[in-house]
Structure 1
Amino acid sequence: MTLSLLHVQPATGTVAALTATGGVAVGGYVHHAWRGIGACATQGLATNPWYPDTLRAALSQSDSAGQALAQAVSADPGASRRQCLVMDRQGRAAVHSGADNLPVIAARCRPTVAAAGNMLADAEVIEALLRHFLEQACVNAEAAWREVESPRYRADYEALLPEMLVAALEAALAVGGDGRGTRSAALRVESFSAAPIDLRVDWAEHPAVELRALLERVREPTFADFLASLPLR
């Protein structure tokens, strides 16, 4: 029903999340990003809106993504209906895909970036999502994709993270996206060096197009100057 990508940069504490689904208002329910701590996407046949509280508390105590996820899943009697992707501050990822989720289900995890989805048009959707992000952000994209090396990021990539997330979503939708069609999309970038960017398209025929248009408005000088004036802590 949903596809998501998480990225954590351990060197700076920047965290990013991208999500899209065939339903309404995905940004309000699925992904959560906490600078310097980590991120999660709670999705599946039915999302669990209480996972983020458990996950953030565990990640804040320096638990690994796997430890945090195990804690959330073990306390959930409906875990078979969940898919949850978690990344900790060191960029380690963990994923749970319950047995009751509808195919196609897929997940791809690399150090510092991971993607997962369910009820997909094809498993290639998640591959396209992750691979396109690597191609934009990394100097060793092919080696990172093949898991020969950990991703090594371009020096200036964080400045264009929102654009990279939108482009990765466009690549994923080009090979199918959500099996029902994709109707809502959202992204969030949390950083210690800039104000958060939190964009949501809650219902649209072409949500990636709308998300890009919204980002272009955010980048316009008037609003960009406003964001730059905000306190960082």
Structure 2
Amino acid sequence: MTFSLVARCDETGMFGVAISSSSPAVAARCAYARAGVGAVASQNVTDPTLGPMALDLMESGMGAAEAVDEVRRRGRFIDYRQVLAVDGQGRTAIHSGPNSLGIWTQAEGPNVASGGNLLANDGVPQAIVDGFLAASGHLGDRLIAAMRAGLSAGGEAGPVHSAGMMLVDKVPWPVADLRCDWTEDCPIEAVATTWDIYKPQLDAYVQRALDPRAAPSYGAPGDE
């Protein structure tokens, strides 16, 4: 009931996750990223401990493949889980348990991995990877393009209702964590609209946290 991708920007080192599902608030349970370390999606009968576990393992020095192998070894009911990871060198790894739901499959490319379950067809993850690799610009733009490509290729077998996108860069918090937790319309387009608004302000929000004296105006009534 989910399709997603994890990705790394080869130019900036930024990591990102984008995900969509028929379930509510999918990004709150399934998207994980850590600046300088990597990005992970943990999905399909979700175990929210697996994303932080994989990031901890990569931070300790493991590559994506080693980390996912260790998650496979340590995780409970791992045959029901999907875990996607990308590490600091752009290497990727995916675990898809045999008890993943419905049509499930996965695909990988340079700096990007995609997987899904309860899909409309088995070509969706490859379409997501191809969409990411074909896109240009900011990592957030490329993630949105990839998710749109996955949806155009069929997406989930039923309608999706939630989506999210997380980006991490050089600070120890997400520089963007955008979500649509439920809609009867397209949640990917809801996140895309929010990204269009948020993207021009992203650097300013980071600057306000690091040194508000050098931050631009908030643009709120009464702000000088």
TM-score category by the smaller chain?
Answer: 0.7 to 0.9
- Cross-structure match for 2:159: 181
Which residue identity does 2:29 align to in structure 1?
Y
- Structure 1 residues 9, 208: CA separation in 2 closer, same or farther (over 3 Å shift)? closer
**What SS does structure 2 have at the residue aligned with 1:163?**
helix
What code does the residue aligned with 1:207 have?
Answer: P
Task: Give the 5 Å matches for 1:58-137.
Answer: 58-137=57-136
The aligned counterpart of 1:2 is 2
- How far is the alpha carbon of 1:217 from its aligned partner? 2.3
Structure 2 equivalent of residue 214 of structure 1: 194
Q: Tell me the residue number matched to 1:28.
A: 28
Rounded Cα–Cα distance in structure 2 between residues aligned with 1:84 and 1:195: 20
Measured after TM superposition, the shift of residue 123 of structure 1 is 1.6
In 2, the alpha carbon distance for the partners of 1:120 and 1:167 equals 18
Change (3 A) 1:55 1:7: same
Q: Does the residue aligned with 1:49 lie in a helix, a strand or coil?
A: coil
Gaps of 5+ in 2: 212-224
- Structure 1 residue runs of 4 or more that deviate by more than 4 Å after TM superposition: none
Question: How much identity, in percent, do the aligned residues show?
Answer: 28
Partner AA of 1:175 in structure 2: A
CA distance in 2, matches of 1:126, 1:65: 18
* Superposition RMSD in Å: 2.1
1:51 matched residue in structure 2: 50
Aligned length: 209
Report Cα offsets for 1:199-222 as digits up to 9, x if no partner.
Answer: 00101121122112211221466x
Given the superposition, is the C-alpha separation of residues 39 and 219 from structure 1 closer, same or farther in structure 2, using an over 3 Å criterion?
Answer: closer
TM-score for both structures, normalised by structure 2: 0.85
Q: CA deviation at 1:85?
A: 0.7
- 1:183-207 deviation digits (Å, cap 9, x = unpaired): 1110011112897111001011211
CA positional deviation for 1:22: 1.0
Q: Distance in 1 between matches of 2:62 and 2:199?
A: 36
Structure 1 residue identity aligned to 2:188: A
| Maintained 8 Å contact 1:80/1:101 | yes
Distance 2:142 2:108 in 1: 18
SS of equivalent to 2:156: coil
Structure-1 separation of matches of 2:149 and 2:199: 22
SS at match of 1:107: strand
Contact 1:9 1:90 in 2 (8 A): no
8 Å Cα contact 1:195-1:231 kept in structure 2: no
TM-score (norm 1): 0.82
